[in-house]
Amino acid sequence: MKENRKIVLIGTGMVGMSMAYSIINTGGIDELVLIDVDKQKAKGEAMDLNHGLPYSFTHMKIKYGEYHECDDADIIVLCAGANQKEGQTRLELVKINTNITKTICEEIKKTKFNGIIVVASNPVDILSYVVYKVTGYDYHKIIGTGTMLDTARMRYLLSEFLSVSSDDIHTYVLGEHGDSSFVSWTNCYVGCKTLLSYIDENKYDMNDLNHIYEEVKNAAYDIISKKKATYYGIGLALNRLIQSIFNDEHNILCVSAYQNNEYNIKDIYIGVPCIIGREGIIKMIKLPFNEVDQGKFEHSCEVLEKTKSSIKKEISN
């Protein structure tokens, strides 16, 4: 990547702007361009962020822009689209957000963009696939946020429950970023001790873990019923992913990645742990699933496959 680190954010709603605010506080990015179908909103957001720069610890160029700004961008972040309303599943957003994503991809394709696309809009696994299909770009360079947020929720809740720093809770929520997600409990660690032996020693049991997973699964519904939308968590997750890419960190994040038989499944995007770096997805980590995990993974794939079929027409040309 070149010296000037440039991001184009498409969709300046709550999620996109939470990411932008998080980036300003972390630094390390030189240029942020905001695009939205509501131009006035994007212009206003750019003004508001710029006015805070004198009190931040970073120097950044932030402006409203048009699609030609993608020409020399390193990363495009997609946060455009409708968000979940109370009682709605992420999958129910599929038609409207597929059409929005498709329109955006057609615009990106007209530019000289040759970087990485990060997708956060929901249903994120399906929309990452839509981006891949419509742009035809290298799938290693199209990354969905997948279960990054679910994984952070799980690490936070387990950390609180066990009174161990979330830095030392090594666990992934896998599969669809949605109701069919799951945790492979045999692949979770506290420090370098297996989570299952740790809870056993400390007189907890599987009921405790299942209860925590249910809280993770229902977190978005719960937050939406209380404050209409969720955005800070995903904003921080997006910032984390972007920093990993720019800094070529080779850290492991549970993102939505295109499957090409790594998990014996092909042609869908789904949440699995991946090594992230400057070239996007460097490598997928294959976890050893037991029979129960394998069943849950296959179920999650089926759910996504079925949703994918429902938008076949939209992405066929």
Tell me the catalytic residues: 177
Binding status of residue 296 toward ligand NAD by CB under 6 A: no
| Spatial contact of 5 and 30, defined as CB atoms under 8 Å apart | yes
Q: Choose between 100 and 315: whose C-beta lies nearer to ligand NAD.
A: 100
- Look-up: residue for tokens 């689209």? 81
Binding status of residue 15 toward ligand NAD by CB under 6 A: yes
Tokens of 148: 């990054």
Binding status of residue 108 toward ligand NAD by CB under 6 A: no
Q: Which of 7, 12, 178, 240 binds ligand NAD (CB under 6 A)?
A: 12
Q: Which of 24, 29, 36, 98 binds ligand NAD (CB under 6 A)?
A: 36
Binding status of residue 100 toward ligand NAD by CB under 6 A: yes
For ligand NAD, which stretch binds (CB under 6 A), given 80-88, 153-161, 203-211, 243-251?
A: 80-88
Query: What is the number of alpha carbons within 13 Å of residue 259 lying toward its C-beta?
Result: 25
Binding status of residue 14 toward ligand NAD by CB under 6 A: yes
For ligand NAD, which stretch binds (CB under 6 A), given 60-68, 93-101, 130-138, 187-195?
A: 93-101
Q: Which of 130, 209, 234, 253 binds ligand NAD (CB under 6 A)?
A: 234
For ligand NAD, which stretch binds (CB under 6 A), given 77-85, 164-172, 259-267, 289-297?
A: 77-85
Q: Which of 120, 158, 245, 301 binds ligand NAD (CB under 6 A)?
A: 120
Q: Which of 23, 149, 236, 242 binds ligand NAD (CB under 6 A)?
A: 149
Shortest Cβ 152–ligand NAD spacing (Å): 10
Binding status of residue 37 toward ligand NAD by CB under 6 A: yes
Binding status of residue 81 toward ligand NAD by CB under 6 A: yes
Q: Which of 22, 121, 184, 239 binds ligand NAD (CB under 6 A)?
A: 121
Burial of 165 (0-12, 13-18, 19+ CB in 10 A): exposed
Instruction: Round to the nearest angstrom and report the end-to-end CA distance of the chain.
Output: 31
- Say which residues have a Cβ less than 8 Å from residue 164's Cβ, sequence separation at least 6: 158, 190, 191
Shortest Cβ 237–ligand NAD spacing (Å): 7
x-marked contacts with ligand NAD along 243-282 as a string, rule CB under 6 A: ----------------------------------------
Binding status of residue 38 toward ligand NAD by CB under 6 A: yes
Binding status of residue 103 toward ligand NAD by CB under 6 A: yes
Taking the C-alpha atoms of residue 24 and residue 299, their distance in angstroms, rounded to an integer, is 39
Could you tell me which of 97, 103, 137, 98 has the C-alpha nearest to residue 117? 137
Residues in the interface with ligand NAD (CB under 6 A) total 33
Interaction site with ligand NAD (CB under 6 A): 10-16, 36-38, 41, 79-84, 93, 97, 100, 103-104, 120-122, 124, 145, 149, 177, 229-231, 234
